[in-house]
Amino acid sequence: MRTRTGLLAAVAASALILAGCSSGTSEGEATVEPTVGATGGTTAQECQPVPGDALVVLSDDKMLQNSDNMIPAINADAATPALIAALDAVSAVLTTDDLIQLNKAVDIDRQTSQEAATQFVADRGIEAPEQGEGSIVIGAANFSENITVAEIYSAVLASAGFDTEVRTIGNRETYLPALQNGEVHVVPEYAATVTEFLNRAQNGAEADAVASGDINETVAALAPLAAEASLVFGAPSAAQDQNAFAVTQAFADEYGVTSLTELADTCGTISLGGPPECPERPFCQIGLEEEYGLEVAQFDSLDAGGPLTKTAIQQGQVMVGLVFSSDGSLA
């Protein structure tokens, strides 16, 4: 689902709302009508969207999404203990909430990535545990989040005695070969995505997936692939940039849901917004139905974590929408 070369093209949003949910209620007012299960017992309520400006991601407590934790990728020849230790010092503190705030600073508040990174390192007091030396080029994909994390790496490595430079290179097909051949030495990566990229490169386009929702399992699967590609990976951070499902904070408060399991238990049936291919993808509608037991009664074809989907959630057009977990608008 997630690609790093740009968001999917937005398509026109449907104006439908979940059938039967708005009858007899004012805008934003939740309908609380228990339904009856197959055994005659009370099951989920009949929920409806609740408009609101603030969005909140529901916890993917069954790990439907693969673990795209940020992780430093390092050219094997450049992977000295001092360099790895400095990068691991960043991973030790970087969280998804940090990514959200950093993305807000750059994408919404219009700071430069270097400004946001410098402030983050100072605020967190990140220090490299060892001193090193030599010139290190940090490569970055061509989107702001990755550039900002590259600047964080640069700041911490510079404090450890390295002479650093950040280069924005492009997509994974461009920067990974540059990392392997030593043109660049470090790149901020996303664990599950790079695992599957290397898996397909080494084992064929139809190779069985080896990444999972468990970051430890994903990193274990990544290790032999990295060795084959002359790469070393540092410690994964807690920070994740991956598909996520959001509702309004008002909806979460109204129905008391914080996870996708609670959404299924409380509501059962939902309206969903996302990219056009969502109904056919295991990490989107199919996964919600098969893994969580949710019933998608209405799907609105919108965009992949973009303004159409977020606006549809905020305006109550859909109950749930696919977003990216580190989106600055979640701040």
**pLDDT tens digits, one per residue of 238-262:** 999 999 999 999 999 999 999 999 9
Exposure of 50 by Cβ count < 10 A (0-12 exposed, 13-18 middle, 19+ buried)?
buried
Structure tokens at 224: 């032999």
Across residues 28-45, what is the average pLDDT? 44
Task: Categorize the per-residue pLDDT at 288 as very low, low, confident or very high, splitting at 50, 70 and 90.
Answer: very high
Write down the pLDDT at residue 41: 35
Across residues 152-160, what is the average pLDDT? 98
Write down the pLDDT at residue 43: 56
Q: Note whether 234 and 74 are within 8 A (CB).
A: yes
Alpha helices in 229-297 (DSSP H): 249-255, 260-266, 285-292
Reply yes or no on whether the pLDDT at 24 is more than 70: no
Reply yes or no on whether the pLDDT at 84 is more than 90: yes
Name the more confident of 25 and 165: 165
Classify domain 34-63+242-330 by CATH number.
Answer: 3.40.190.120
Q: Note whether 73 and 187 are within 8 A (CB).
A: yes
Q: How far apart are CA 261 and CA 265, in angstroms?
A: 6
Q: Residue 193's closest CA among 283, 320, 89?
A: 283
Domain ranges of the chain: 34-63+242-330, 70-233
Across residues 141-161, what is the average pLDDT? 98
Write down the pLDDT at residue 8: 36
- The helix (H) or strand (E) run that includes residue 314 is helix 307-314
| Strand extents, DSSP E, the chain | 34-36, 42-45, 55-58, 70-75, 135-141, 163-170, 186-190, 231-233, 243-248, 269-274, 295-301, 320-324
CATH topology of domain 70-233: Dipeptide-binding Protein; domain 3 (3.10.105)
Q: Residue 144's closest CA among 95, 90, 108?
A: 108
Average model confidence (pLDDT) for the chain?
A: 90
Residue 22 is which amino acid?
S
Name the more confident of 184 and 7: 184
Task: Categorize the per-residue pLDDT at 39 as very low, low, confident or very high, splitting at 50, 70 and 90.
Answer: very low
Reply yes or no on whether the pLDDT at 21 is more than 50: no
Task: Categorize the per-residue pLDDT at 303 as very low, low, confident or very high, splitting at 50, 70 and 90.
Answer: very high
- What is the layout of strands, in order, in the sheet containing 135-141? 163-170, 135-141, 186-190, 70-75, 231-233
Q: How far apart are CA 101 and CA 98, in angstroms?
A: 5
